[in-house]
Structure 1
Amino acid sequence: MGLKGRGLLDMDPTKQTFPHRTLSVKLWPPSQSTRLMLVERMTKNLITPSIISRKYGLLSKEEAQEDAKEIEESAFAVADQHYQKEPDGDGSSAVQVYAKESSKLMLEVLKRGPRMKEEGEAVAAEKSAAVHADVFDISGGERAFISADEAEDLLKPLKELGNTYTKICFSNRSFGLDAAGVAVSILSSIKGQLTEVDLSDFVAGRPESEALEVMNIFFGPRGF
C-alpha cells in the first residue's frame, strides 16, 4: 500500500498527458440579435441630418426602417454567398463583406433620398407630360430648311395611331415643295382632331416662287 502511494506521489507531472482539444471559432453567421442591432443602427444613420441629406433630402423614420431592413437582408445574402465558397474558414471575411455591402447600400439610399420625393417628382413629370401631350412642336433649335426625308422623320409621331395632338407648331422650319407634300399628307390624316396649327416662318428663306407654291400646297384645294 505504501509503495503504491509513494509511486503516485513520485509521478513526474511533466510526463502526464491530456486529451488534445481543438478550439473552433466561427464568426459567421451573425446572430439574429446582431442583425437587428445593425438594422437599428442603420435606421438611426438614415434619419440623422448630414451633408448628404441636406443635398438629397432626409428620410422619414418609417422609410428608413424599411430601407435598413432591405439593406441588411441584401448584405447578409451577399456575405452568406461569399461564406459558402469558404465553409472551412472562420467567417471573418464574410463579416467584412457584410459590413462593406451594408455601408455601400446605405450610401446609395442616402444619395437616392426619400422615395416620397421621387414619387412626387414622377407624378409632376407625368402631369407635365399630360399637359403637353396634345402639343406637337418642332420649332426648337436654329431655323432650318428641311427635306422630304427629314419631314417624314420629324413628323413620324403624328402618324402614330391614337396620338392626341391637337396643336401643331412648325414655325422656324422652312419647307420646300417635297417636304410640304409630306407634311400636308400627314396633317390631312389628323385634321379632324387639330384645333391650332402654327406655320409662322414655314417658308422663310425660300425663293418667292417656291414659297408661293409651298403655300398653295398647304392652303390650296389639295391642302389640309
Structure 2
Amino acid sequence: MEEWEVKELGRKSVREGVAHSIRSLAELKGVKIEEEKALAKAKVVEEKAYTAAKVDSRTTTGRRPDEETTQIYARKAGNLVVQAVEAIERGEDAGGKGQAGAEDYLDLCDGNREFVTAETAKELFGPILSASKSGVRRIRLSTKSFGVDAAAVAAEAFSTCRDTLVDLDLSDVIAGRPEDEAMKSLKCLCDAVEGLELESLDLSDNALGEKGIRACATALTSQKSLRGIAFRNIGCSVAACKAIHDLLACRGTLKRLHLYNNMSDNEGAFSIAKLIQETPCMEDFMMVSSRVKQEGGQRLAGALMGKNLVSLDLHDNILGPETAGALVGVLQTQQHLKHLNLSEACLEDEGVELVAGALMNSAPKLESVGLAANDITADACPSLVRSLAGKQNLREIDLKENELGDRGACLLSSILAPKAGLETLDLYQNEIGRAGAVAVVKSILACKNLKKLDLNANYIPGDCVDEIVGVMKHAFPEGSILSEFDENEEDMGDDDTDPQELQAYTQSFVDELASSFSNL
C-alpha cells in the first residue's frame, strides 16, 4: 500500500512559507529575525509536522485519506509556527527546548507530543551530543515518540554520559508507532543502556506486553545497581509478569517496583510475588489496578514478610478481608512505613479492623493512609481511630466513599486536633450529617498545615454547610481548603440522631483512648 507523501518541491515551498510566517509574526511582536535563521527554524517546523502527519496517515484499519493527512500536516505546521514565535519572543533558540534548568538533567517532556526523527533527535540531544563527555545524571524522554533512527541518536547521547547517568525515564516513547517499528525502537533504546550504571529506570506508558518486556531485556539484565523500576500502564499480562520475573530475578539492589493499570490477575501476581521473595531490599512496592484477587493478594503478602517497607500500595484490586489477614504479619513489623494505600480493595469492616490492629503498635512514621471505598461502617471506626491516634506524622487520610456516618466521623474527629502536620482529610460520600461534619470541622481548625478538606456528597443540612464554609474561610483565609458541596444531599440526613447520645458515645471513646495511652 502506497504511503502518503509530499514531493520535495512541495515541502520546500512549505518551508519557505513557514519561514515567511515566522518572520512576519515575530516582527508583529517587535522582534526582528534574520532570513537565514527563520529558514533554519522553518526547516525544523516542517520536518516535525511532516513526520507527525506521516505517522498519523497510518490507522488500525489501513490508511487515512490523503486529504485528511494533508490537513494534519498543515495544522501541525501552523501550531509549531506559533510555538516557534513564542520561543523567539522569550529569547530562546530553536534548540532550547531540550535544555533543562539544571545542568545534570535533560527533560524532553515539554507538554507537546511529538514524533521524533533523527534530525529532530540531534536537536533535542544537542546539549549532550555537543560534548565529548557529559555530566548529565537524569534523562527523561517521555511523550516523545522515537523511530528507529531517532532511537539510534538517543543511544549515542546515552553513551556520552555513561559515567554519570543514573536515572533514565523511557516512559511513553513509542506511542503511535506500528508494532514492528516500536519494538525495534524500544530495543535500540534499551540495548544502549548496557554499559551504564542506572539506579532508576521507567518503562511506563509503553504498549509493551510480553514482547515489549523481552525487547527491553538488555536494560533489565545488564543493570547491576538498579534500585527502582516502573512498569505502569504497559499491558502487563500474566506472560509479561513472568518475563519481568525472569529478567529481574535475584536483583539484590532493587528497592522500588511499581506496576499500575495492568492485566496481571492472580497468575501475574504469583510471578511478581516470586520476584519480591528474591529481592531482599524491597521497600517501595506498588501493584495497583492490576486485577489481583484474594489468592494473588495473599501470595504477595507472603512475599512481603520480612521486608522493611517505606511504601505499600495495592489499591484498586479485589483483595478482600482474606488478604488483609495475610497482611497482618507484614504490617505488625514495620518501623519505617510512611505510605499505605489499600483503597478500593474490598476489605470491608473485617479487613479494616485487621489492618488497624496490625498498625496499632507499628508504623510510627506513617504519613499517609488510604482506605477509600472499602465499605467501612461506624462499627470498624473504633479500631481504625485507635490505630491512627498515635501516628503523629500523618499528612493524609483518605476515607472517601465509605459509610462512616456521624458516629464514625465524630470518633475520627477526636484524634485530629493534635495532628499539626495534617494536610489532607478526604471524607467525601460517607453519609455524614450535621453532628459529624461539625465535629470534624471543629477539630480540623487546629491543623494549620491543612490544604484540603472534602465533606462533599454527604448529608449535611444547608444551613450547616453555610456555617462550615464561613468558619473555614475565616480559619484559612489564604487558601481554598474546602471542597465544593455540589453533591451534598441534605434531604438524606437522619433526623433521629441524638446529639447528646452521640456526644456521650464520643466522650466515652476519648476517655478510653486516653486511658489506654496512659498505660503504655
TM-score (norm 1): 0.39
TM-score (norm 2): 0.17
Higher relative contact order (CA 8 A, sep 6+): 1
**For the pair shown, which has the larger CA radius of gyration, 1 or 2?**
1
